[in-house]
Structure formats: structure tokens, C-alpha cells
Chains A and B, each alone.
Chain A
Amino acid sequence: MKKLIPVLVALLCFTVFAGVVLSTPNTVLYFLNWGEYIDTTLITKFEEQFNCQVVMEMVTSSEAMYQKITSGTTNYDVAVPGDYTVRQLYEEGYLRKFDTGNSEYVNLSAYDSLFVSTLRSLMAEYMLDSKTGEEINEYYFPYFYGAYSIIYSEKKEDVPSVIKENGFASLFDRSLYNEDVKIGMYNTARWIVASSLMAEGRDPNITKMDGTKDGDIDSELKDHLVNKLKSANFDEFGSDSMKRNVANGSLDMCYTQLGDFFDALYLVYDESPKGAEIKFNVNIPKVTSAFFDSMVIPTTCQNYDLANKFVNFMMDGDNAYQNAQAIGYSPTLKTVVGKYIEDAENGAYYYGDETTENSLTLKDFLEKYPMYLDPIGQCEKVYMLEPKSTQYLSTCEIIFNSLA
């Protein structure tokens, strides 16, 4: 009997193990995404609907995303790189065209009429094949978009008006304010360079003072930027923490993406059950730069059909609407914008409902923050960051490092 027990235990373990293995879906979708950039209930829904498993990996920078896709260590089925990374991946042959002709993927057809018009014209102007000059449509599906902006605290009287008047220049010149202000800058070297160039009304992609955009940043421009940034004397370099600091007033303003503002806004509502006092706002300067992240299928993908199904699922009007409500970045699909407007008319709530004390109706929300559905509509000049060499990016890092 004693000898039998270990055998039985081993058998039991094997059975449990085999049971686990058998119950695990055999199809796996490898999804490369940014942190907090998808409503995870949608992933569960997709897994149930298509009897598969979604393995999500997260990155914190475009370069890391690029590296992960091109290194080939994991064969991702779907990734969400930013605009210039999409272009770079396309040029280097890392992207596979979507199966848009397949009638199974209803949300992937009619590519031209899917996206909101301001975004569509950006795509038409910017997402081009460098050799043929034609649009690289159907290799990417814009997922969320937005513009670089300034989140500011309304605690100090002159801050809102100075920012409105001066755009990004208000981050670099403390003499514009009557009193001492605390200014935060995003800790991404390329954004630091881009913001200081846009503050001067220049193209964020230039490498020389004369406006040339090729090659690496030359020493004249580099010295100019280092001096400018040094004199700006930022109080903080950060990422996700800065929006919270502006929301609670410990920082007067910071450079960031529009979506960060709505994320912070929602958080403040969520954390103040007795009625939220919103003392911060956002400004999109007249000269700014837009961005959009898109779903793509890398050539290394192992499960092309499932990848198409996944993007088709995420581009579905209802799913995309649910996702947009959870994330806070601006929706790219016309149908989603339509749903927002329709729901606003029907008295839906942005936060809470009629029983909650600090609720906000969707109508009030859209009236107060029209830039949510139209981030770049009011801008005079909208740039896009272009693909750059590692040399250029290293120089940006050295410029950032010079501020230590």
C-alpha cells in the first residue's frame, strides 16, 4: 500500500497537469501594447468569443516597441506602435497588410471612410511610402490619437492666460509669470527637444538652425537647445506622475499628451466622492504636434487570421466606444465620435449617474472639453514627428543628459 501512494499522487498530478494543458486554448495571440492602453474586459471578451488566449506585453517607449518587433525574439501578432514607428517599420518591410478584402472582417473594409476627417487628412499627408509617394493605407489602423499639450493648474491667476497666449513658449520663460511657477517636463528626450523647437515656432524635426531635417542634430542647434533648456530650469522631469502633481497643485504645469489630462480628470472624479473640485485644465497650443498609435500586424506574426480578427474586434463601433471611455485618448473612428454625440444628447454621464454626488454629464464634458473629440481642430500648424536615426535619438539623450 505504501508503495502505491506515491504512484497515485504522481498520477493525480499528471491528470491535473494534463487537464490544465488541455483546457488552455491552443491559439495564442501575442499583443504588444503600451501600459494602461486597453480596456482589459475587452480582451476577456475577445478570448471568450474566439476561444483563444491573448498574451499582452507592454513597453514604455516607441524605440522599445520598434526593437521588440524587429528583434524577432517574440513573434507578436498585433502591436500598437506610434505614427513614425509605423512608417519606419513599413519602410523596412516589417509590416503585413491587413486582410481588408475578406468579408469576414467587416470593420476593416471601407478604410477611407472609417476615420475622423482631421485624422484622415493627417494620415493622407504623412503616412506615405517614401519611394512611391503613395499612402500606405491598410497596413495600419489608427487606434487612438491626440496632440502634445500643456496640462496646467488653475491655482495661480495668470497661468491659464499666459499659456493660452504663448503656447509651448510658456514652459521655457519664467519671466512671463508674475510669481514663481513650478514647471514639469516629460522625461522623454525626443519630446524635450521637440517641445523646445515648437516653443520657438520651429518644426520639431529639424537638425540644423536653417531648417534642414536630415541627419543628426548639428552642434550649433545642439548648443542652442542645451542653453535654452538649461535656462528653463525645470522643476521636475517625469512621466505619469506629473499629471497627478498638476491635478493636486504641487506642479503648475507640465508638457504631456492630451490623453494624460483626461486620465487625470477621471482619476480626480473617481477619488473625490464628495464632489470633485477640478482646478486644472489643458491647453493645446496653436503650434503643436499630433500623434496617433495604430494597430499593425508585424511580418513575424504566427497567427495572421486571429490578428485580423482581433483588430476587426477592436475596430467594432461598440467595442471601440467602450475602449475609448476606459482609456481617455481621443477616438479615431467616426462611429465612436457619433456614439459620443448621440449619448450626450440622450443624457448619458461621463462620470457617475444621477445618484452620485459628483457626476458629470457627457454633454457638459464635451462642451467643456471639445478637444477630446477634436484635438487638433483649433490648431494653426500641426507637425508630426518623423522617423529619425539612432544617431539623432542619441544626441537627444545627450541633450537631456546635459541638463543634469
Chain B
Amino acid sequence: MKRFKGFAIPYLIWLILLVVTPIVVMIVLTFFNTKGMDFIGATFSLDAYKRLADPSILKALGNSLYIAFFTVLICFLLGYPVAYFLSFSNIKNKKLVLLLMILPMWSNSMLRIVSWLRLLSTDFLSALNLIGTSGAVIFVTVTTYLPFMIFPIFTVLEKMDRSIIEASKDLGVPAWKTFLKITFPLSLGGVSSGVIMVFLPAATGFAISQTIGLDKVRLVGNLLQTVFEKNNYNFGSLLSIFVSVVIIAIVLLFDFVQNPKGRGNK
């Protein structure tokens, strides 16, 4: 393998230039008052840190996590059965069915969000007063990210060694027990990818809460977007780093709960 080490160098450069450097710049920015990204005339300031302590920031973050948690939960409850039955069914054109599922994703996501807004504002549905509520935001987030849950689970189920399930059945284990003891534990890898893939965009997005939530449901993504728009790169950087740290911590925690001994001992 050593011979091919050289091939990793371009990526390493890429990583340093486009990931490491921006993070370092962001960390430096948090300690200054600058005009946007311009360091000329910058003054040392802890203004960004003072703002982070504002109770409304925690509330926005709390809202984001709340929305993301329920989105993940509903996506899992809806997506797992779809992936399961599709994988274990005898349909010939599984690929076609999957293709149909991602068909809506071929259109721009903003277009779909606005379509939901229009649908929810129709005479029939507007009576439910859904627009501007967390429920509606969660609903539209689920419809947006559901395929991200179905796909990894489906892939894992497809690759699963079916002889293990057959063995379980041969030994007379009831179907539900086979599912709980064999199929589900073996598909957890797919579930965990799905959870992460849905959780991350759901927790950091801002378009859905702005459009469907009428800005009454404010997420941390909304705040991030507007702070950067108002040219406050100092507070914006700190907020981004803070949100990243919280989300990475949650993902690590999720990983730990799922597999406490660590991946090495698997």
C-alpha cells in the first residue's frame, strides 16, 4: 500500500486548504471585531462570546434539536418498514420502485417546500392552521429527508446474508423474533447512517422553518444565515463552531450508545 501513498497528497492539500484553513480562520475571527472577512482595522473583542450567552441562542438551538429529533424519529418509523418490505418483497423492479421514491428529489427542494406552503394554505388544509407551527415544519422536513433514511437501510438489508435468516426460521424461531434478534441488529449500520444523514441537515437547515414556519419557528440555521448576511463574520463564525461542536457531540454520543465498546472491538 505504501507505494500508493503519494496519491493521497492531492486530497491532503485539498483538506488543508478547504477544511483546516477555514476552520482556523473562523476560530481566529471569533476573537475580533472585523469588517466581514477583512482583517484590516480589526480589533480584539469578545463581543461574539458575549452574544453567545444570550438565552435566545440556546432556545434556537433547542428548537433545532427538537425538530431534528422528531424528524429522525418519524423518518425512521416510516422509512424502516418501506426499506424492509421492499428488500424482502419479490418485486422484480426494485430499482424502479426506488427510483420512483427519489423522483420528487429530482426537483429543486425549495420548489417542494414552497409547494407544501401552497398546499397547506389551500382552503381545505388552512382550516387546520398548520402553517407557522413546529408540527408543519417537522412534517415538511420529514418529506424532504425521508429518502435519506430509506436508502442506507435498504442497501444494508439487500447485502445481508439471507442464509442466517433462513437458518433462524429452520430452527423454528418465530418471524418477529427473527426480526428482532437477527435482521434488525444486522441492519443497525444502515439505520445509523440514515439517522446521521437526516439529523444533520434537519438540525442545521433554515429554508423550511423560514417558509413553512413563517419565521415563528426560528432555528439556529435561521440565525446563522441572518448573522452572516448582516456581515457579522465574528459572531457567525463562533455560532457555526458552537453548532458544529454540539452536533458532533450528539453524533458521537449516538455512536457510543449504539456501540459502547467502540468500533475496534466489533
- CB of A220, distance to nearest CB on chain B (Å): 15
Query: Which residue on A lies nearest to B226, using beta carbons?
Result: A397
- CB of A93, distance to nearest CB on chain B (Å): 13
Residues 35-53 (chain B) with a chain A CB within 8 angstroms: 35-36, 47, 51
Identify which of A250, A396, A402, A404 gathers the most chain B CB atoms within 10 Å of its CB: A404
Total cross-chain contacts (CB, 8 A) = 74
Select the stretch in B20-28, B87-95, B230-238, B240-248 that faces chain A: B230-238
Q: What does the 1/0 interface line of A171-199 toward B look like (CB < 8 Å)? A: 00000000000000001010000000000
B231 pairs with A66, CB closer than 8 A: yes
Bound-complex Cα distance A390 to B36 (A): 9
Within 8 Å of chain A (Cβ to Cβ): is B191? no
Within 8 Å of chain B (Cβ to Cβ): is A236? yes
What's the interface size class on B, roughly? 20 to 34
Interface residues of B (CB under 8 A from A): 33, 35-36, 47, 51, 54-57, 59-60, 63, 126, 132, 210, 214-218, 222-223, 226-227, 229-232, 235
A residues near B132, Cβ cutoff 8 Å: 235-236
B232 pairs with A187, CB closer than 8 A: no
A residues near B230, Cβ cutoff 8 Å: 63, 189, 390, 393-394, 396-397
Q: Which secondary structure characterizes the binding site on chain B?
A: helix
A398 pairs with B229, CB closer than 8 A: no
- CB of A43, distance to nearest CB on chain B (Å): 26
B residues near A23, Cβ cutoff 8 Å: none
B residues near A400, Cβ cutoff 8 Å: 215, 218, 226
Within 8 Å of chain B (Cβ to Cβ): is A16? no
B218 pairs with A404, CB closer than 8 A: yes
Q: What does the 1/0 interface line of A362-401 toward B look like (CB < 8 Å)? A: 0000000000000000000000000000110110111011
A residues near B126, Cβ cutoff 8 Å: 250
B residues near A70, Cβ cutoff 8 Å: 36
B235 pairs with A394, CB closer than 8 A: yes
Interface residues of A (CB under 8 A from B): 61, 63-64, 66-67, 70-71, 187, 189, 234-238, 250, 390-391, 393-394, 396-398, 400-404
Identify which of A70, A234, A390, A398 gathers the most chain B CB atoms within 10 Å of its CB: A390
B226 pairs with A404, CB closer than 8 A: no
A-B pairs with beta carbons under 8 Å apart, 5 shown? A187-B210, A187-B215, A235-B132, A236-B216, A401-B57
The verdict on A238 contacting B214 (CB below 8 Å), with A63-B229, A401-B223 known, is yes
Bound-complex Cα distance A401 to B216 (A): 9
Out of A187, A391, A401, name the residue touching B47 (CB < 8 Å).
A391
A401 pairs with B232, CB closer than 8 A: no
